[in-house]
């Protein structure tokens, strides 16, 4: 019971919010994130946090969110 309560109080950042903040097209953002997840050496937290088939979202101020921002702002 406490796990459900703790999970609901964590503020999450969605891909839609991140795209609006960084002014990135959501389709391009998903493509960049998929590439970043494949390279687990460069972004290990992002690779650990993503579950295939689920939406892109991260806890606010997490290491995975920082790696997602780096993946979306890098010019790869």
Q: Which residue has the higher pLDDT, 76 or 41?
A: 41
How far CA 41 is from CA of 11, 16, 34, 44, in Å, comes to 27, 26, 14, 6
Q: Within 13 Å and on the Cβ side, how many CA atoms surround 23?
A: 0
In this predicted structure, the answer to whether residue 3 has a pLDDT above a threshold of 70 is no
pLDDT digits (tens, 9 = 90+) for 16-71: 999 999 999 999 999 999 999 999 899 999 999 999 889 999 999 999 999 999 99
Euclidean distance between CA atoms 74 and 19, whole angstroms: 14
């Amino acid at each position: 019971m406490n796990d459900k309560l703790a999970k609901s109080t964590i503020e999450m950042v969605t891909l839609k919010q991140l795209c609006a903040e960084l002014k990135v097209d959501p389709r391009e953002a998903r493509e960049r994130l998929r590439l970043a997840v494949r390279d687990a050496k460069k972004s290990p937290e992002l690779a650990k946090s993503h579950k295939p088939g689920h939406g892109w979202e991260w806890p606010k101020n997490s290491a995975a969110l920082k790696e997602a921002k780096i993946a979306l702002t890098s010019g790869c």
